Amino acid sequence: MEQKYKDDTFLARWLNKDLSEEERIAFEKTHKYKEYAKIIEKMELFKAPEFDKETTFKAIQDKINKQQKVRKLVPNWVYSVAASVVLLVGLFYFFNKDKVYKTSYGQQLAVVLPDGSEVLLNAKSKLMLSEKDWHKGDRSLSLQGEGYFKVKKGSKFRVTTAMGTVSVFGTEFNVKSNQDYFDVKCFEGKVSVQNRKQNAVLTAGTGYFKIKGKSAEHTQFNRAVPAWISGESVFESTPLRYVIQELEKQYELKIDAELVNQDQLFSGSFTNKNKEIALQTVFIPLQIVYSIRESGKVTLSEQQ
């Protein structure tokens, strides 16, 4: 039974409560049962734990700074891993950016900005700013990927992405953006969101979600900080293609999803600390079979 419960058919039958009494009893005696039970519990609750924001941010920052190998360019506040000019969409360039902070697959990076504001970058993200402009009082930067911002009060603070701009004077918020995906959540204070066609003002506990080619949505949530900071990626009614992208970023994966419906919606979460459990958490409930090739590439197909 220790081998049989690992296949997709067995787990699907367990989720549907179709196991025989003998199979159920045997499975519940295994070590893996506890892990899968925790997955189901998280999916049913679908609520991240509450955090002390100050303590959590400081603890995560201290931990990450110990793990990251970054070169200290200016005492006390500049930590940089790369410097380049980044092409985002077509001819959309970020010019005049002389500081670049970058994370790789599965990494997080804590950054303290020139004014004392703090940013935590999620996996495969880039943050760019002009140090010269900041010293002149222009608190603007460019983001590709995802970051959680804790902004010191002062002049307007502006985050520019490929899909829109977020402006604040002092607050806490999370921005996730790529070429066709834009998700902003306000955790404290107020946030102004602008894109080509719409403007929105967010207050604590509200969000703005936009996929290119579709109407924007206003969302609500009940969390003290983004779930990814504590090692969990959370989604609510999100097209599968973006969930797959996040799996690839967290685990340095290449996932072939041509044979499945990538527009189907996923609500749930996956851990950023265990690849096998993360894949099972996402694909088993959707009745999608995944296989990992020798090259490490993951191939998806609809369950027969």
pLDDT tens across 94-131, in order?
Answer: 444 689 999 999 999 999 999 999 999 999 999 999 98
- Averaged pLDDT score across all residues of the chain: 81
Place of tokens 């977020």: 166
Q: Name which of 121, 118, 138, 120 is nearest 130 in CA terms.
A: 138
Q: What's domain 53-220's architecture?
A: Sandwich (2.60)
Return the percentage of the chain with pLDDT > 90, whole number: 60
Confidence bin at 16 (pLDDT 50/70/90): low
Q: Domain residue spans in the chain? A: 1-45, 53-220, 231-304
Confidence bin at 303 (pLDDT 50/70/90): confident
What does the block give as tokens for 175?
């921005």
Residue 84: predicted pLDDT = 28
Q: Assign residue 130 a region (left: φ > 0; alpha: ψ between -120 and 50; beta: otherwise).
A: beta
Helix axes 31-45, 8-15, angle to 10 degrees: 50
pLDDT tens profile 128-175: 999 889 988 999 999 999 999 999 999 999 999 999 999 999 899 999
pLDDT tens profile 64-76: 555 444 433 333 3
Asked whether the beta carbons of 202 and 193 are under 8 A apart, the reply is: yes
Residue 94: predicted pLDDT = 41
Q: What's domain 231-304's architecture?
A: 3-Layer(bab) Sandwich (3.55)
pLDDT tens profile 27-51: 777 766 766 676 665 555 444 444 4
Q: For residues 240 and 202, what is the distance between their CA atoms, to the nearest angstrom?
A: 26
Q: How many CB atoms lie within 10 A of CB 240?
A: 21
* Residue type for position 233: S
Confidence bin at 232 (pLDDT 50/70/90): very high
Q: For residues 197 and 204, what is the distance between their CA atoms, to the nearest angstrom?
A: 23
